[in-house]
Amino acid sequence: MIDTDKYEGHEEGHQAWQELVKDAPLLLEEVKRLQALLEETNHHLDLMVERFGIEALVEMVGEGSE
């Protein structure tokens, strides 16, 4: 996980701007990782809806939050 606090005040010319620019490749990789994780999660959710149906999944989630 990236510590985004160090980018506070990232206006051009501010010291945090140099950090933001320097870390751009790292930030891009993190975005790509999170996109892949979201796609994988959506795929698994689609499989679960296909197998159990949305009503059953909503019921299961509701039971876990009580």
Segment 13-28, tens digit of pLDDT: 777 778 888 889 999 9
Q: Please check whether residue 2 lies inside any domain of the structure.
A: no
Tally the domains of the chain.
1
Question: What is the pLDDT, as a whole number, of residue 66?
Answer: 58
User: Cα(56)–Cα(43) distance, rounded to whole angstroms?
Assistant: 18
**Do the Cβ atoms of 7 and 16 come closer than 8 Å?**
yes
Q: Please check whether residue 60 lies inside any domain of the structure.
A: yes
- The DSSP output letter for 1 is -
Q: Please check whether residue 42 lies inside any domain of the structure.
A: yes
**Domain that includes residue 62, residue range:** 24-66
Q: Please check whether residue 34 lies inside any domain of the structure.
A: yes
Judged against a pLDDT cut of 90, whether residue 42 lies above it is answered with yes
Residues 27-46, mean pLDDT to the nearest whole number = 95
Report helix angle 24-52 to 15-22, nearest 10. 60
Q: Please check whether residue 49 lies inside any domain of the structure.
A: yes
Q: Please check whether residue 11 lies inside any domain of the structure.
A: no
Place of tokens 């501010």: 14
